Structure 1
Amino acid sequence: MGRIQAAYLVPHPPIILKEVGKGEEKRIQKTIDGMNEVALQIKRKKPGVIVIITPHGPLFRDAVAISVEPEMQGNMEKFGAPQVRFTKDNHLELANKIIQFAKARDIFCAQINQDFAQEYHVSPDLDHGTMVPLHFIDQEYVHYRLVHITYGLLPRQDLYKFGKAIQEAVEGIEEDVIVIASGDLSHKLSSDAPAGYHPSGKLFDEAILKLLGGGAVKEILAMESCLTEEVGECGLRSIDIMLGTCDGYDITPRVLTYEGPFGVGYGIASIEIGDINRDRQYMEEIYQERDEKIRQIREKEDPYVKLARNALEYYVAHRRIMDLPQDLPEVILQEKAGVFVSLKKHGELRGCIGTIEPTTAHIADEIIRNAIQAGANDPRFYPVAEEELEEIIYSVDILKAPETINTLDELDVKKYGVIVSSGKKSGLLLPNLENVDTVEEQVRIALQKAGIKANEGYNLQRFEVERHK
């Protein structure tokens, strides 16, 4: 029976390769030393398989991607080093077992081969999130087959559950396995960082490495999405899957190195996996806590939010619009207003549709119709499925009449939403949104939504909302 020997968090900056860095790699010597140490540890363990989880392969919102090509290839041509090439044999037995165990846990896997890649316009080649770590490993040890996984934009608890599926699949093969979680930490550590600066960047890196070094699985999974999004990381979902592969076992975690000279956090950590420990079986507990949180939110719903939820649930079940409930407050039935209905699933946006001005007889109809639109017709998402309904949290914003303003100084990102318009084009952004911290950012996003260039002339309006959560 196979077992997972250890797991590693590693970064993947292409500049770390001398063929790409051309001398600049010397600025991240600490990371190079850490990658070499990981490679030596893997050499001593002599695994038959390396499972690597990357952010930069085929990325899907509703699925994890697994390569099912017998042989996988890639090179660093896009980083100016086409001579750095890789060819890896796929461990198809393990890949297929992971797909089967994931399906049993209601996690869908996109099976990436040449035909799938062509149909969905993705690349089947090895990505830099895979090739950079393998470059160091291959200098010390090459006697392994690879399983190539790209995490999906699933709820993070589901990624942890997928990691558990990997663990179960490994137990069905003969070879031992090493798990590699490829991912950089914050991309916003300094003003010259590729994604700009955010003060939470350094705090996030310190927090995640402290928690990882302490084996604090539940605390990592509880990190708020608003924080992880604003710091611009690409490694947390890889970490979630990696931690799931360790569920139910003693672990000995250790942070090996950390630095961020280019404004991007590069952290390296190892997790030695020991004996079975039922006290570290967190998966069921995590889901129970999540369900309890949703139950408490449901109990506190006001009539506006309850109406939005009931409207979408009824539509998904019956494919028609519900009749007006009899017990609605008079104000919902008497007043008109623009309404936005937002849906979130485990902290991630799942749909948002609204009207700037009233389009129906009263607020109640506006809520019902926009709730259905948010769940069924937001072009950014697949329609909400019936099995998702119990996991969705709703908020309803009642818009007050907009007023024209002349300068950004008249905006307040927490208090006012903004409407930008130019000719027939207009865009709106609600106030007090996660990850929108400045007026400039608020207006930039609204312009982007409207398709208006920043250097075009445009009109500004502000508005307040009455938010129901």
Structure 2
Amino acid sequence: MGKIYAFYTMPHPPIIIPEVGRGEEKKIKETSDACYKVAKEIAHIKPDTIIIVTPHGPLFRDAVAISAGENIYGNLSKFGAAQVELNLDINVPLTEKIIEYSEKEKILSAEITKSSALQYGIKYELDHGAIVPLYFINKKFLNYKVVHITYGMLPKIQLYKFGMCIKKAVEDSNMKAVFIASGDLSHKLTEDGPYEYSSYGEKFDKEIISLLKNGDVLGVFNIDHTTVEEAGECGLRSYYIMLGAMNGYDMKGNLLAYEGTFGVGYGVMNFSMKESNKDTYNQLIEDKKKRMIQKVESMDTYVRLARESLTHYLMYGEYMDIPDYAKDEIKKCKSGVFVSLKKEGRLRGCIGTIFPTTENVATEIIRNAVAAGERDPRFSPVREDELEELDFSVDVLTEPQEASREELDPKKYGVIVRSGFKSGLLLPNLEGVDTVKQQLDIALQKGNISSDENYMIEKFEVIRHR
């Protein structure tokens, strides 16, 4: 029976490669030394296959991407070091078996070959998220094939289950494998880092490292959405898949190195593994159900109605009736309503009405919740299996009033701009919209109105339900 003999988390900063860093790599020597330690361990294991999950290959919202050619090539020419190149053979039978098992579990995988890459409008190549970790491996060990996977923007439980498919495929293929989860931690650790500084960066890095060291899988899956979103990381989804491939084991992480010298967290870990009868997958499912029940029970009427409306529509293909729990205030008043959906802190859909279009606010919410999930042209329709991952908010609008620029306040008032038949609307108190100019510029852009045109401004307030 095949087995994954070792698991590693490795970062992928191109600057760590001497041909790219040209001396700067010495500033993260601890990380470099830890990567060489991983390479020595892998050389000692002598696997026939290295499975690597990366953030930087072809990224799909609804599928995991798996390189499915016979070999794959890549270099670091984007980082001024074309001479750093890898040309690797792909373990085709294992890749095919992973795809087969994921299809049985209804997890969509995109097979990337040279021909399918052309159809997707992408390149068939080894990305730097794979090249950088494998650069170190190749210094110590060469005789292996690769399974090259790019995680998708799937629900995290599905990514975990995909990891379980990898484990099963290895076991059934009589392969000797190791697993590398490639990913950097927060990109917002310092003011001079690649992104704007956030205090959540250090918080996320400390939390994820502590949870992995303690083998706390449920804790990894329950890290606060805001912390994850604000940290600006790219490794967590690689870790979800890795943890799925560890299902059936008690594991503890051993931190080999952590540095944040360039404003980005670089963590290198290996893991001690002990076989266990613990079914972590079902624990995750039960924990998710429990949290969902708690969430629904604590919701106010407006948010609960929006969630149940979209759920009902996806299950039965029709609008729900107004439920008994809806209060008179929601059944007797008329108003414009916006319903917003977020998934792991990111917008997943938002549709609304400026003025009431139905007989009451309850019906307005029911209709607009479905529209936000099904008809926002910026997003594909919400799938039923996504519902538990979504957070809903409902904004009930006051009647718009004509206003001057001086009367606006982006934290208090939403804005509508009109020019002829064109109009654009922006809700108040949105993250990143701090000035009247920003608010008007975005509203004009949404309405396809030039700032040089004559346009009318209206303001409104909202009662926001989260």
TM-score (norm 1): 0.88
The CA RMSD measured in Å over matched residues stands at 3.0
Q: Which residue number in structure 2 is paired with residue 468 of structure 1? A: 465
Give the 3 Å change call, closer, same or farther, for CA 158–326 of structure 1 in structure 2: closer
Alpha-carbon distance change, 8 to 445 in structure 1, aligned in 2, over 3 angstroms: farther
Q: Contact between 1:418 and 1:460, CA under 8 Å: does it hold in 2? A: no
Equivalent runs, 1:20-169 vs 2, <5 Å: 20-169=20-169
**Offset from partner CA, 1:129-163 (integer Å, 9 cap, x none):** 00011111101101110000001111222211211
Could you tell me how far apart the structure 1 residues matched to 2:226 and 2:46 are? 40
Q: Structure 1 pair 449/109, CA: closer, same or farther in 2 (3 Å)?
A: farther
CA distance in 2 between counterparts of 1:345 and 1:199 reads 22
Q: Separation in 2 of the partners of 1:262 and 1:224?
A: 25
Scaled by the length of structure 2, the TM-score of the pair is 0.89
Kindly indicate whether residue 292 of structure 2 is the aligned counterpart of residue 288 of structure 1: no
* Map of 1:243 onto structure 2: 243
1:375 aligned residue (370, 373, 376): 373
CA shift in 2, pair 1:385/1:265, >3 Å: closer
- Letter in structure 1 aligned against 2:415: I
Q: Distance in 1 between matches of 2:406 and 2:209?
A: 42
Residue 99 of structure 1 contacts residue 109 of structure 1 at CA under 8 Å; is this kept in 2?
yes
Aligned residue number for residue 260 of structure 1 = 260
SS in 1 for 2:194: coil
Shift of residue 348, structure 1, vs aligned partner: 5.7
Aligned counterpart for 1:451 among listed residues 445, 450, 460: 445
Are the structure 2 counterparts of residues 234 and 341 from structure 1 closer, same or farther at C-alpha, using a change threshold of 3 Å?
same
Deviations 1:377-428 (A, max 9, x none): 122332234555566554322123456475699444xxx3643748545341
1:277 aligns with 2:273: no
SS for the counterpart of 1:451 is: helix
Q: Which moved more, 1:93-102 or 1:49-58?
A: 93-102
Distance 1:407 1:197 in 2: 31
Q: Is the 8 A contact 2:444 2:451 kept in 1?
A: no
Indicate the residue corresponding to 1:177 in structure 2: 177
Q: Distance in 1 between the 2:443 and 2:76 partners?
A: 34
Which residue number corresponds to residue 419 of structure 1?
415
What is the distance in 2 between the residues matched to 1:460 and 1:28?
A: 53
Q: What is the alpha-carbon distance in structure 2 between the residues aligned to residue 406 and residue 468 of structure 1?
A: 27
Q: Is the 8 A contact 2:409 2:436 kept in 1?
A: no
Deviation at 1:439? Answer: 4.8
Distance 1:13 1:388, change over 3 A: closer
CA drift of 1:125 comes to: 0.6
Matches for 1:302-341 after TM superposition, within 5 Å: 302-317=300-315, 319-321=317-319, 328-341=326-339
Offset at 1:53?
0.5
Q: Could you tell me whether the CA contact under 8 Å between 1:257 and 1:269 is conserved in 2?
A: yes
Change in Cα spacing, 1:364 to 1:255, as seen in structure 2 (3 Å) is: same
AA of the residue aligned to 2:296: R
Q: Report the Cα distance in structure 2 between the residues aligned to 1:389 and 1:257, rounded to whole angstroms.
A: 38
Q: For residues 118 and 448 of structure 1, do their structure 2 counterparts lie closer, same or farther at Cα, with a shift above 3 Å needed?
A: farther
| Whole-Å separation in 1 of the counterparts to 2:393 and 2:261 | 41
Q: Give 3-state SS (helix, strand or coil) of 1:149's partner.
A: strand
Q: 1:170-204: CA deviations, max 9, x gaps?
A: 10122211110111111111111111111111121
User: Whole-Å Cα distance in 2 between the matches of residues 442 and 181 of structure 1?
Assistant: 43
How far apart in 1 are the matches of 2:284 and 2:465?
A: 27
Distance in 2, matches of 1:27 and 1:390, equals 43
Q: Answer yes or no: is the 8 Å Cα contact 1:63–1:152 preserved in 2.
A: yes
Say whether the 8 Å CA contact 1:427–1:449 is kept in structure 2: yes
Change in 2 beyond 3 A, CA 1:54/1:429: farther
Per-residue deviation at 1:51? 0.4
Distance change >3 Å, CA 459–CA 74, structure 1 → 2: farther
Partner of 1:153, secondary structure, is: coil
Retained in 2: the 8 A contact 1:417–1:429?
Answer: yes
Cα contact 2:415–2:439 (8 A) shared by 1: no
Q: Aligned pair in 2 of structure 1 residues 38, 73: CA closer, same or farther (>3 Å)?
A: same
CA contact (8 A) 2:338 2:368 kept: yes
Aligned to 1:440: 434
| Contact 1:211–1:217 under 8 Å retained in 2 | yes
Does the C-alpha gap of structure 1 residues 283 and 258 become closer, same or farther in structure 2, counting only changes over 3 Å?
Answer: same
CA deviation map 1:289-322 (0-9, x unaligned): 1112222333445543444345434544554555
SS across alignment from 2:95: helix
Alignment of 1:340-419 (within 5 A): 340-344=338-342, 349-386=347-384, 388=386, 394-401=392-399, 404=403, 406=405, 410-412=409-411, 416=412, 418-419=414-415
Aligned CA distance change for structure 1 residues 334 and 315 (closer, same or farther; 3 Å): same
Q: How many residues align?
A: 459
- Cα gap change, 1:323 to 1:289, in 2 (>3 Å): closer
Residues 14, 128 of structure 1: 8 Å contact kept: yes
Mark the runs of 5 or more structure 1 residues left unpaired by the alignment: none
**Identity %, equivalent residues:** 45
C-alpha separation between the residues in 2 aligned to 1:23 and 1:420? Answer: 53
Equivalent residue letter for 2:16: I
- CA deviations over 1:336-395 (Å, ceiling 9, x no partner): 222111235576654221223334443233223211211211223322345555665543
Q: 1:171 to 1:339 in 2, by over 3 A?
A: same
